[in-house]
């Protein structure tokens, strides 16, 4: 009987020692260099953003190496200081275990869009041709106006101002229908399509409603600009 009691005590002692050793190993803090923490912040942010509206470019400002390595028993917790829709933001990295620490990583989120740009300089009133256009990737923040993603949409339009090489083109820069242009009027009434010609009384871009003088009836009507030198009326 004593033999079994000694065996039980030895087994219990070994088990306690093993548990103590495991606890010691698990409590060993993990070290993180500033470069590793920067990379961790960038990877985490990529998982948070929604790229459904287009390609997103994430720029993370590296942590200063002078802060030295950081240690934490648990994995660092990450969060944003502002709403994710903000272009300029800050990622917070926090170690909740004692002794804790808190770091801030500045980030910038830019939306990248495919848009039509100029391949040459042109002056006001220039008729847009295919050789003047190309499509390129640009940061959305540089665009003020309605983007043009399809070159064919604006071929034949006129520039309302001077445009330079590499400049992003918006619908506000062009008149798809210019005052005095002869336009095709499309009339839609219960599935019946009728076409007529008219004279534009105002400049107009895509979606604008302008006045058009019907050349046949001599009546002035309101119509929506649908393409270069084309307007539409719906009943």
Domains of the chain: 30-111 (no CATH), 113-175 (3.90.1210.10), 182-234 (2.30.30.760)
H or E stretch covering 15:
helix 2-26
- Main-chain phi, psi angles of 165, to 5 degrees: -55, 130
pLDDT of residue 175: 94
Nearest to 87 by CA among 59, 115, 48, 114: 59
DSSP state of 85: T
Taking the chain (235 residues) in runs of 10, the rounded mean pLDDT of each run is 45 42 59 95 87 73 94 93 84 91 93 91 96 91 84 95 94 94 88 88 94 93 94 84
């Amino acid at each position: 009987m004593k033999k079994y009691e000694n065996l039980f005590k030895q087994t219990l002692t070994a088990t306690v020692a093993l548990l103590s050793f495991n606890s010691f190993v698990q409590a060993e803090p993990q070290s993180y260099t500033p470069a590793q923490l920067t990379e961790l912040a960038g990877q985490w942010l990529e998982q948070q953003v929604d790229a459904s509206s287009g390609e997103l470019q994430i720029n993370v400002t590296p942590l200063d190496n002078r802060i030295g390595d950081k240690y934490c028993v648990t994995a660092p917790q990450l969060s944003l200081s502002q709403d994710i829709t903000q272009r300029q933001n800050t990622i917070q990295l926090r170690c909740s275990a004692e002794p804790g620490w808190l770091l801030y990583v500045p980030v910038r989120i830019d939306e990248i869009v495919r848009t039509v740009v100029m391949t040459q300089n042109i002056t006001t009133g220039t008729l847009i041709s295919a050789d003047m256009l190309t499509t390129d990737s640009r940061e959305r923040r540089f665009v003020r106006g309605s983007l043009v993603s399809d070159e064919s949409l604006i071929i034949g339009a006129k520039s309302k101002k001077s445009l330079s090489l590499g400049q992003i083109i918006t619908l506000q820069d062009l008149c798809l229908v210019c005052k005095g242009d002869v336009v095709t009027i499309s009339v839609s009434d219960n599935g019946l399509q009728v076409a007529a010609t008219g004279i534009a009384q105002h400049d107009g871009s895509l979606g604008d409603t302008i006045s058009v003088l019907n050349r046949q009836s001599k009546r002035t009507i309101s119509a929506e600009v649908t393409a270069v030198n084309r307007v539409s009326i719906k009943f």
